[in-house]
Amino acid sequence: MTETLLFDAALIALILGVTVWTLAVRDTIAAVIGFVVWGLLIAFAWVRLAAVDIALTEVAIGSGVTGMLLLRAGAQARKFDAPVKPVNRTTSIIAGALCGVVFVVLAAVVLLATGPGPTLAPQVAESLPLTGLGNPVTAVLLAYRAFDTLLEKVVLMLALLGVWSVAADRAWGRPPELWTASRRDGVLRFFAQVLAPVGIVFAIYTFWAGADVPGGAFQASAVLAAIWLIVVMAGLARLPATGSPALRLSLVAGAAIFLVVGIAGVHIAGAFLAYPPDFAKALIIAIEAGMVWSVAATLALLVAGPPQAGERR
Amino acid sequence: MSSVANLFVIIAVGIAAMFFLAGTVGLLRFPDTLTRLHALTKADNLGLGFVVLGLMPLVGVFVALKLVCIWLLVLFASATVSQLIARSALRKAGAP
């Protein structure tokens, strides 16, 4: 008991320390690295709270994909870096006071709460067998709250459209550009060649195991996206043109399969996104497979950024 | 669990902690990028290796294999990353 308390205290101290450092550090790239480390520590906190699914997502998407996105954005922003203007005192005091109020209210809500909070966990556990799944988190994402998950897919696609829309007119439909190792550089190439098969197997395992144990489509797609980006950066593959029909189809496949199953549910099972009980698991796996493909493509392209008009190599 | 296994765990994880400590000190105290990378990778690889070794008696065969796989992947990734960082540092310094 004391040991875990000691560990938790150290973890919280570390999280707070890294938070302060990340906010205080002046260099953009250093701040991003602080943010990535912070995400990793937060994932440990989730593990300590027995929420392994969230921990995996935090590491893969919150820390990994977002970290890389921020790194690229930071590198872009560096080109236009103006000297940082000191914030005036009144602004800092007001901002500090507002943050303080939020902190106090949140702390009060947590500390003054009595009894267990409202929960639907018993109902979820009770009807879990109907879905054919063993992991309640996956059941919530793909069965009970499938509509939210469907909309998340759409939001991701909209985000990608937002990134693409900052491209110059003449770049529209061209491929995005990513830093690529020089031809003579064998290190990254070898790394990508060895890692790609391992990563693909791991992603498929994460996706498949997600039905019964922590894991799932989102984490699997983050791994796939990372592998794809490494392969591209190693110079083993090129990013596709953003106008290519195959790519566009890949991006919408996940949401499309989801919608088709959802609409079929109206006729077969009596409600939008309802699954007939005998095929629930098969349908969920089918939706998830489409989702992994589309989300992986979307995440990788989000990181790759808007299409560039530069010469095609 | 036998006390021999217990002792083994404590010694191995203790050695691991020493390596991590030494690596961190090296990272903070060494003068340039290359020596800092040296401290970091040596200590991290051996440190993690000893953590994995120390956890062996506590887990089953399959989990032990998984741990070894994790160690190998980290070795591979950190070796690659330090190569890339070292090359970029050399290029910036104007060396060959």
Enter the DSSP assignment of B89.
H
A83 pLDDT band, cuts 50/70/90, is low
* A10 vs A250: CA distance, rounded Å: 44
Q: Using CB atoms, which residue from A187, A194, A198 is nearest to B84?
A: A187
pLDDT over 70, % of chain A:
96
Q: How far is A190 from chain B (nearest CA, A)?
A: 9
- Token readout for B59 is 């887990």
pLDDT recorded at residue A313: 43
A39 pLDDT band, cuts 50/70/90, is very high
pLDDT digits (tens, 9 = 90+) for A277-290: 777 788 888 888 88
Asked if the C-beta of A198 comes within 8 angstroms of chain B's C-beta atoms, the answer is: yes
Asked if the C-beta of B77 comes within 8 angstroms of chain A's C-beta atoms, the answer is: yes
Taking an 8 Å cut-off on Cβ atoms, the answer to whether A187 and B77 are in contact is: no
Taking an 8 Å cut-off on Cβ atoms, the answer to whether A187 and B73 are in contact is: no
Taking an 8 Å cut-off on Cβ atoms, the answer to whether B80 and A185 are in contact is: no
pLDDT digits (tens, 9 = 90+) for A171-209: 888 888 887 777 667 888 889 899 999 999 999 998 888
Of residues A302 and A113, which shows the higher confidence score? A302
- Report which listed range, A14-23, A51-60, B25-34, is most confident: A14-23
Same domain, A29 and A84: yes
Same domain, A59 and A132: no
- Token readout for A62 is 């919150």
A45 pLDDT band, cuts 50/70/90, is very high
- Of A88, A118, A148, which one is at a domain's C-terminal end? A118
Chain A window 167-196: which residues touch B at a Cβ cutoff of 8 Å?
185, 187-188, 190-191, 194-195
Same domain, A47 and A113: yes
Taking an 8 Å cut-off on Cβ atoms, the answer to whether A191 and B76 are in contact is: yes
Judge contact between A287 and A256, C-beta under 8 A: no
Selected residue of A182, A185, A191 to mutate for chain B interface (largest B Cβ count, 10 A): A191
Same domain, A151 and A192: yes
Same domain, A206 and A304: yes
Same domain, A310 and A260: yes
pLDDT digits (tens, 9 = 90+) for B14-62: 999 999 998 889 888 888 888 888 888 877 888 999 999 999 888 888 9
- Of A65, A85, A118, which one is at a domain's C-terminal end? A118
SS3 track for A74-110: HHHHHCCCCCCCCCCHHHHHHHHHHHHHHHHHHHHHH
Taking an 8 Å cut-off on Cβ atoms, the answer to whether B80 and A198 are in contact is: no
Taking an 8 Å cut-off on Cβ atoms, the answer to whether A195 and B76 are in contact is: yes
Q: Up-side HSE of residue A187: CA atoms within 13 Å toward CB? A: 14
Q: How far is B53 from chain A (nearest CA, A)?
A: 21
Asked if the C-beta of B80 comes within 8 angstroms of chain A's C-beta atoms, the answer is: yes
From the list A150, A136, A107, the residue with the least C-alpha distance to A290 is A150
Residue type, A34: G
Average pLDDT score over residue span A207-213? 84
Judge contact between A62 and A42, C-beta under 8 A: yes
Chain A, nearest residue to B82 by Cα: A187
Same domain, A189 and A110: no
Beta bridge partners of A307: A176
Number of domains in chain A: 2
Average pLDDT score over residue span A142-159? 86
Angle A199-A29-A32 (CA atoms, 0-180°, nearest 5)? 60
Average pLDDT score over residue span A3-26? 91
Q: Could you tell me the residue range of the domain that residue A251 belongs to?
A: 127-313
Mean pLDDT of chain A: 85
Taking an 8 Å cut-off on Cβ atoms, the answer to whether A187 and B76 are in contact is: no
Judge contact between A295 and A254, C-beta under 8 A: yes
pLDDT recorded at residue A86: 72
Provide the whole-model pTM.
Answer: 0.84
Give the count of Cβ contacts less than 8 A between chain A and B: 15
Same domain, A15 and A163: no
Q: Is the pLDDT of residue A100 over 90?
A: yes
Q: How far is A191 from chain B (nearest CA, A)?
A: 7
Same domain, A234 and A266: yes
Chain centroid, CA B20 distance in Å? 7
Chain B positions touching A191 (Cβ under 8 A) are: 76-77, 80
SS3 track for chain A: CHHHHHHHHHHHHHHHHHHHHHHHCCCHHHHHHHHHHHHHHHHHHHHHCCCHHHHHHHHHHHHHHHHHHHHHHHHHHHCCCCCCCCCCHHHHHHHHHHHHHHHHHHHHHHHHCCCCCCCCHHHHHHHHHHHCCCCHHHHHHHHHCHHHHHHHHHHHHHHHHHHHCCCCHHHCCCCECCCCCCCCCHHHHHHHHHHHHHHHHHHHHHHHHCCCCCCCHHHHHHHHHHHHHHHHHCCCCCCCCCCCHHHHHHHHHHHHHHHHHHHHHHHHCCCCCCCCHHHHHHHHHHHHHHHHHHHHHHHHHHHHCCECCCCCC
Same domain, A175 and A37: no
DSSP A157-202: HHHHHHHHTTS-GGGTTSPB------TT-HHHHHHHHHHHHHHHHH
- Of A118, A147, A166, which one is at a domain's C-terminal end? A118
Checking ipTM against 0.95, whether it exceeds it is: no
Q: How far is B73 from chain A (nearest CA, A)?
A: 9
pLDDT digits (tens, 9 = 90+) for A62-82: 888 899 889 888 887 777 766
Same domain, A114 and A131: no
* A203 vs A220: CA distance, rounded Å: 4
pLDDT recorded at residue A16: 94
A84 pLDDT band, cuts 50/70/90, is low
Same domain, A204 and A310: yes
Angle A225-A191-B77 (CA atoms, 0-180°, nearest 5)? 85
Q: Is the pLDDT of residue A36 over 90?
A: yes
Neighbours of A17 (CB within 10 A): 12
